[in-house]
Structure 1
């Protein structure tokens, strides 16, 4: 069993010099809990505060199982909960809706003992039947509802009910009112960490049924979604209230089983411009925002705001579509890798502490390989490879998003401009294809199309290597058009290994294989920061973005 007490940390930049260090040196370290934290809600009669948080983009939908963007999950983490939680300091699995769990000797059966006294926001009881109803829904999700994105269930379990020979999932059954028995077709050591991912949050079965969760008969900002995705129902500390364009409102759930915190009314307000987010915070219109950019830091410090840093746990990459003519030639992809000057790309765009990436596994996982092929910046070698590949200057459409800030992509326009400059200098003919993030950018680059290159990334949501290489390269996906049976076999084997050292070596071998084939070019492991006003005494920072706002504490 895995158990841990909840701990929280906050990084405060109380002086201009400390904040400016984010652009010039290592950021401040976490402090202990502030002694000036306000009294608990139990002492004050319950939550009463209002809190507004600015986000860089609208959620694509609020069904956590089908959402693939962090802004959607930022909201759903407040409303719905998972069986397994995340320790805020170590990111290790901890109890949440499941108080404890056990694994059979062969690793194919898990039992989860559920928390009692929990109810969904619609009054329905939380029990083993409700949990299995969710697992059955996930497993039996019709293909028409899966879209072009790689869903977490498919990434973790490798298949749905229409491909039972591929799926690691076998069945979910109640073994009592508050005990769930989960059976697998193969050992899956990463299962428990994966269940902390927001995609595996437990919805009210009644609300799913009434909201026709599997019928994507509506559209919002270029994304198909269900009625349920506009009004989710979970067991979390906040209930859904309303969603009108750029403002989404939640309220504290009176029947919450845990600490309700101090916030009664929680609003997420979409402000796409970094400058506008900064202005809103300084004016007191919002209490904080995520994804602080390099240009924000000095002014935030001068205004007396707090800057909070997370351990890096995301990857920015240059995607390559091998279904585009010529991009299936390895020498073309190697030429792209040699054309890129990663240190120059980081300078002035990413916060200090961000690191160049030559593989797809963040350092936090401790699985770095020293044997990966490292394509240093070498325009001359890139030109030689282009000639050997027979490239004659054909136009290469390069997709990139506009008007958005992501944890892995602080300023997409500037990142594109620098990459385009470097690629053009090496002999590539780049055609820019800017696209509004809010108009379905992720969906557009996740399917086959007239695209040679694109900017994208991945923010990790659970502590396991499969979250990165399994999600991106564990099977054929249209984003890359990359078909590598040897790599897929390596990933399938690695994820089933129980021995920690053997598993680590398997993932290092996977990194080596990816580096030689270049299905995409890893660019950076960016530092991610957010900022809050002085009224916040404590904020639950998490590298996995498991930040639930009932854990915010406000100053007296």
Structure 2
């Protein structure tokens, strides 16, 4: 073969490879990447599964939100509730019965009807005696649910053991609460987790493990039809690779934006969305043992940490400085709560008052990888805090572990203090403040093992009070107590970030970490 012929062949092959890439050639690319009628969303990993009863991760929740619907849902941009599969609901005077009127004419993706029996089935499979150990959110979402009664085909009554203010917020969650097709669950059994059937705007097509999940618009959807006929969720582990794919047009939307990629993305015309995150990033003390059973010592450490500098320099401004464990958009948040302010001299005085005029030494454990509430990772955060504490004569030794191992060391109470965080589930104040309840020590959510009877009483009162104004007053007092007792140093509320190409319209992040793709459109380039 001559050089000229070889060059011609190579050119033809090169062009063919481009055409094939545009058509989805290659095992590792979605078959529809770049197509005008397909929306490609890139996220970091596969979901754990697609059955709301059996998963507890955000990657699953994002996809399930397109497939399933609950009785109620959050309003765009906040955690207020609005009707979905239920058109209205009423609560009995004693707060123990919630009756839902259901939307009529709704079908599941398998063609079977949505009705009160489907609601009863979806909830009761997660209640005793049916509930299984690997249903991670059942006990939380349906806490206090005693019984589900079918009143008629389109009316269902849920009976509670006692009044529960967070109950309705729980019913809007993407985990456990969505209504599934009873017939599909019976048909697929334990394989339903890979063959989901709901009433949502998109229905499941196929799942290529480690690569992508395909969804298609549900033609018989009861509501406004999706703007995009097809959605592909593409799984790409590295943040930087997702950013590169977005800029080249291989994908349309991505989440998990690295702070170091923001300027590059924006310079290439990409839209970077920064949304308040429903989370808290904190340093916790083991309050049940020395030395941090000493409140004055906890105050001293709190005053010695320059939280403002951490937000501005460690997080490059991509986080918010908290004054309360609650993000400011959560109902019941109090702007009047005042954390201990950064003051080195006052910290030294408080240290002496605590009985350590010459300083002291302690061990703090942390995690080695980034977390949604701490995108720079636990080691970098610990090192920054270590430098601050050295200024008041306190030596903080750091022990770091990979995330999976770290959680076990944390729950075993290794060391004296720790770094941790929380991502909210349902947008209710109780979901954050319960982490400081004595009852949560046994289940490990209360990692500090902090216990104060006054806090316990406030939380129980807030949980069973249905009047929003009265609840807000109760939670304002609980937030004040949480800050004064200082079981945590409140570091930051991390921003949730995503990015999309300039021809994508209507995409938005929601505070609970989900998104709705049926309202997203893709304009011609």
The TM-score, its normalising length taken from structure 1, stands at: 0.76
Kept after mapping to 1: 8 A contact 2:277/2:511: yes
Residue-by-residue CA offset, 1:526-547 (whole Å, 9 max, x unaligned): 3333210022022143233341
Q: Which residue of 2 aligns with 1:238?
A: 202
Structure 1 residue 411: Cα displacement: 2.2
Q: Which residue of 2 aligns with 1:126?
A: 114
Residue-by-residue CA offset, 1:312-353 (whole Å, 9 max, x unaligned): 543222344457764544445434423321111111343647
Kept after mapping to 2: 8 A contact 1:52/1:268: yes
The TM-score, its normalising length taken from structure 2, stands at: 0.80
How many angstroms apart in 1 are the aligned matches of 2:475 and 2:510? 24
Q: Name which one, 1 or 2, has greater alpha-carbon Rg.
A: 2
- 1:227-306 equivalences under 5 Å are 228-240=192-204, 241-245=206-210, 247-306=212-271
Kept after mapping to 2: 8 A contact 1:335/1:386: yes
Q: Secondary structure at the match of 1:234?
A: coil
Q: Which residue of 1 aligns with 2:462?
A: 494
Which of 151, 161, 168 is the equivalent residue of 1:175? 151
Q: CA RMSD in A?
A: 3.3
Structure 1 residue 155: Cα displacement: 4.3
Kept after mapping to 2: 8 A contact 1:323/1:448: no
Q: Which residue of 2 aligns with 1:6?
A: none
Which of 400, 403, 416 is the equivalent residue of 2:367? 400
Q: Which residue of 2 aligns with 1:105?
A: 93
How many angstroms apart in 2 are the aligned matches of 1:88 and 1:176? 31
Q: Which residue of 2 aligns with 1:484?
A: 452
- 1:403-552 equivalences under 5 Å are 404=370, 406=372, 408-412=373-377, 414-423=380-389, 425-426=391-392, 427-436=394-403, 444=408, 447-448=411-412, 450=414, 452-470=416-434, 473=437, 475-477=439-441, 478-479=444-445, 480=447, 481-552=449-520
How many angstroms apart in 2 are the aligned matches of 1:383 and 1:231? 60
Structure 1 residue 435: Cα displacement: 1.4
Structure 1 residue 81: Cα displacement: 1.3
Q: Which residue of 1 aligns with 2:67?
A: 79
Which of 506, 522, 525 is the equivalent residue of 1:554? 522
Q: Which residue of 2 aligns with 1:43?
A: none
Unaligned runs of 5+ in 2: 1-34
Q: Secondary structure at the match of 1:175?
A: strand
Q: Which residue of 1 aligns with 2:171?
A: 195
Q: Which moved more, 1:334-343 or 1:527-536?
A: 334-343
Structure 1 residue 370: Cα displacement: 6.1
How many angstroms apart in 2 are the aligned matches of 1:520 and 1:209? 46
**How many residue pairs end up in the alignment?**
479
How many angstroms apart in 2 are the aligned matches of 1:451 and 1:58? 34
Matched, 1:204 2:178: no
Unaligned runs of 5+ in 1: 1-46, 160-166, 214-226
Q: Secondary structure at the match of 2:497?
A: strand
Structure 1 residue 298: Cα displacement: 1.8
Q: Secondary structure at the match of 2:180?
A: coil
Kept after mapping to 2: 8 A contact 1:313/1:525: yes
How many angstroms apart in 1 are the aligned matches of 2:246 and 2:53? 32
Q: Which residue of 2 aligns with 1:224?
A: none
Structure 1 residue 74: Cα displacement: 1.3
Structure 1 residue 76: Cα displacement: 1.7
Q: Secondary structure at the match of 2:244?
A: helix
Residue-by-residue CA offset, 1:210-246 (whole Å, 9 max, x unaligned): 6666xxxxxxxxxxxxx55444432222333215125
Specify which structure has the bigger relative contact order, considering alpha-carbon pairs within 8 angstroms and separated by 6 or more residues: 1
Kept after mapping to 1: 8 A contact 2:141/2:171: no
